[in-house]
Amino acid sequence: MKEETERLQEHLNEKIFDNLISFIKTSHTQVNSEVNDWSYRMRCSEIPTAALVLGVNVPDHEMTVQGLSELLKQSLTPHVVCLQSKECTTVKQVLQKILMNLTGGSGNDEEEDVHYSVEFHQSKMNCSMASLCRWYNTITKKSTSKSPSKKRKSSLQHEEVLPIVIIFKDLESFLPKVLQDFIIIASNYIQHLPLVLVFGIATSPITIHRMLPQSVSSLLCIELFQSLSCTDHLATVIDKLVLTTEFPFKLSGKVLQVLNNIFLYHDFSAKNFVKGFQLSLLEHFYSQPLSLLCCALNETNARVQNLTHDDCELIRQLPSFMGYVDDQDSEKQVELLTNDQYLKTVVQTLLTTLHIYHKNYFPVLKCLHIFTSSLPKYPLGKQIRELYITCLESNIWENEEYSSAFQLLRMMARDELVCLLQECIEVLQSSEHTSLTLSVQTLEDFLAKFQKLDEVPKEDVEEGQECKARSQKSLQKKTDLYQLQKTLMEMKELKRSKKPSKFEVLRMDVLEFMDKLVRKYLVPPETQPLHELVYFKAASALRRHLNAAPRAGLQIALSNPYYYLKNEALKSEGGTITNVAPDICIIYKLHLECGRLINLYDWLQAFATVVRAAEGKDRDKINNGQVDGVLHARFIRAVSDLEFLGFIKPTKLKTDHVARLTWGGF
C-alpha cells in the first residue's frame, strides 16, 4: 500500500512538475536572436518566479516540495534550496540558509566544496549575495574549463546555465519585510546569478500582491502553476487503495466515515488519510487473531490448512459464521461445529465467495455513481466515497435518496443516457466475472437499441402531429371558462392515457436493469460470512487515536497515572493522593485542593509532606518544615511543567502566589 501511494503521488504531480522544470529550464536560457524576451526581462531586473498553488492541505506540502526538490536535483540543477519561515525570520538568516545549503555540496568538486563550506562557516557574519555570486562564478568557471569546445559552441548558439532554485515552502508564513528585502537584494544580482524563485502558496496567488508592494512585485516575472485539488487527490487514493480487490483489507462504513470527517473538517490532507488507513490496518491485524486469513486469494488455501483447533473455534464464534451455520441443515451444522477439516474446506469456499463478492461490488458501485453523480442536488452524493459509505451501512435501495435519484433518472435525455451507458460498459468490462460479462452484453444491446431509435416510423410521426394539431385547434376556439377547463382536463387525460414512446420504454428498461444490478451486488458486507476477517470496524479505537482530546488526556494522566503507566503501586481510590506517584501528579492533585490563587510556600510544604511520607522520613523533620535542596528542585521542576502545560501562571497580585487557570478535574 505504501508503494502504491508513492507511485500515485508521483503520477499526480508528474504534469505540474514537468511544467515547472520546463519553466525553470528556459528561464535563464539565452538564445542568440534579435528579439529575446528573457533579455528584456533581464534589463528590467525581473526574477523568474513560479507561484505554485498547493492548496489548503498543508500536511501534504512537505511531500510535494520534497519530490520537486529531488526531481530538480536529478534532472536539472544541483543548486536547490528549500526555505521555511520558522528558520528565516531575518534577511541575514535567509542568506545564511541559502549559502549553507549551496556551499555544502555542489556535486562538482569535493575539495572545492569543502573549501567553500569551511570558508562560509568561518565568515558566517559576512554572508551576502556577493559571496554567493563569487561562489557561483568559481563553480561555473571550473565546469566550463573542463569542456572548452562545448563552451564555444554554446556561447555562439545556445548557452545553458545551471539555475539556482530557491523554494519558499510556506510563503504566507514569511515576514513580508524579510521577503521584500530579499527580493530587492536578489534583483540587483539577477544579471550575475541565474536565480529562480518558487513560492509555495496555500491560499491564493493574490497573497503575493498582499505581501509585496507594487515596487517589489514588479521585480518578479511570475508564472502561475496550479496543483491538483485535495479532493481529487483523495478520490484517486480511495480508488487505488479502497475501491480495489488488489488489497484484501477493507474498512467498514463507520471507520471510513471517521477518516472522511477528519479529512473534511480538519486538514484536507490525503497523506493523513493514508496514515489513518494504515493505522486501521495495524489495529485490525493486532486485535483480530484470525486476520492471518486477510491475504491474497492464492495464499488462503495454505493458511487455512495450517489453522489450529483454537483457530477453528474462533471461526465458529464469529457472528457472521454463526448465522451461516444456522441457515444450513442439521447434518452440515454438526459437521461445521465438530469436524475441523470440513470446516477448513467450507472456510476456503467462503473466502473465495467473499473475493468474488468484492470483484462484483466495486464495478457496480462505480456504475451507480456514474448514473447519480451528475443529478441535481446529488441525492446520493457527489463523490463516490459518500455513496460507498451509504452502501456499506445499509441497503441502498431502501433509502429515500435512492428513490428520488431514480425519479430524476426517469427524466434524463437520450444523449446523456447514452453517454452514461458507454461509461458503465467500460467500467464493467474491467471485471472478469461471468455474471458481469453478461451484464455488459445486456448494456451493449441497450446501446444498440438507442442508436436505432433514429429510424422513427412515419405512422408514429403523423399520429403525433395530428394529435398536436387537434389540441391546438380546440384551444383556439372561443369558449367560456367552463369549456376551457373541460378542454384542458380532456387534454390531460389524453396525455395520461397516451402510449409511451419507444425511447421512454427503453429508458425504463435500462433503469430497471440497473436497479436489479444494485439489489443483486450492492448488498452490505455484513451479509457475507467471514466478513470480520477483512473488514475493520473499531471506529471508536480509530477516533481515539486520531481525534485526541489533549486537555482530557492530560488531566486523566495527572489525576490517575495508573491509566497509562500500569504500575500496581499507583492504584488509588478516587480523590486520594498516592505518595509514590510522579512529582507532577502529586503537584497536580495538591493544586486541585486550592482556590484561584495558590501560595507557593504552602504548596511546597504539602508536597514535601507527601513525598517524605512515601520515603519513610522522620516525621519530626517534616513538622520542622525543613526542605532540602533536592526536594526543592523537584518541586520547582514539577511546578514549571504544570505551568508549561497551561494549568497555572504567575500573577502580579501576590509575589509568592500563582494563579490557577483551570477549574475542576477528572
Q: Each residue of 554-589: pLDDT tens digit?
A: 888 898 888 888 888 888 766 567 778 899 999 999
Query: What's the pLDDT tens digit per position in 365-406?
Result: 999 999 999 899 999 999 999 999 999 999 999 999 999 999
Q: What is the dihedral of CA 119, 124, 128, 132, to 10 degrees?
A: 30
607 against 485, higher pLDDT: 607
* CA distance linking residue 136 with residue 106, whole number of Å: 10
Length of the chain: 666
Instruction: Provide the pLDDT confidence category of residue 145 given band limits of 50, 70 and 90.
Output: low
Residue 356: count of CB within 10 angstroms of its CB: 15
In the chain, pLDDT over 90 holds for what percent of residues? 56
Whole-number pLDDT of residue 617: 59
| Residue 155 confidence (pLDDT) above 50 | no
261 against 128, higher pLDDT: 261
Whole-number pLDDT of residue 147: 52
Lowest mean pLDDT among 444-458, 556-570, 626-640: 444-458
**In the structure grid, which three cell numbers stand for residue 326, read together?**
444456522
Domain boundaries, the chain: 2-228, 233-451+526-535, 550-660
**In the structure grid, which three cell numbers stand for residue 412, read together?**
434524463
- pTM value is 0.78
* CA distance linking residue 666 with residue 660, whole number of Å: 16
Return phi, psi of residue 194, to 5°.
-80, 70
Q: Average pLDDT, stretch 124-153?
A: 69
* CA distance linking residue 528 with residue 576, whole number of Å: 51
* CA distance linking residue 588 with residue 571, whole number of Å: 16
Query: What's the pLDDT tens digit per position in 310-349?
Result: 999 999 999 999 999 999 999 999 999 999 999 999 999 9
Residue 459: count of CB within 10 angstroms of its CB: 8
Q: CA angle, corner 398, sides to 396 and 401, nearest 5?
A: 70
Q: Which of 640, 662, 572 is nearest to 610 (CA)?
A: 572
Whole-number pLDDT of residue 652: 85
CATH of 2-228 given 3.40.50.300, 1.10.150.20, 3.10.20.30, 2.60.260.20: 3.40.50.300
Amino acid at residue number 627: V
* 94 CB-contact burial (10 Å; exposed 0-12 / middle 13-18 / buried 19+): buried
Q: Which of 168, 170, 156, 226 is nearest to 195 (CA)?
A: 168
CA atoms within 13 A on the CB side of 617: 19
Work out the mean pLDDT of the chain and round it to a whole number: 84
Residue 352: count of CB within 10 angstroms of its CB: 13
Amino acid at residue number 129: M
Instruction: Provide the pLDDT confidence category of residue 478 given band limits of 50, 70 and 90.
Output: low
**In the structure grid, which three cell numbers stand for residue 390, read together?**
451509504
* CA distance linking residue 234 with residue 237, whole number of Å: 5
**In the structure grid, which three cell numbers stand for residue 103, read together?**
556551499
* CA distance linking residue 204 with residue 189, whole number of Å: 29
Question: In a 3-state reduction of DSSP, which class is residue 51?
Answer: strand
Query: What's the pLDDT tens digit per position in 188-234?
Result: 888 888 999 999 999 999 999 999 999 999 999 999 999 888 888 99
| Residue 32 confidence (pLDDT) above 50 | no
Q: Average pLDDT, stretch 85-102?
A: 91
* CA distance linking residue 79 with residue 281, whole number of Å: 40
- For residue 49, the cross-strand partners are 197, 222
Specify whether the CB–CB gap between 252 and 532 falls below 8 A.
no
Q: Average pLDDT, stretch 244-250?
A: 93
Instruction: Provide the pLDDT confidence category of residue 485 given band limits of 50, 70 and 90.
Output: confident
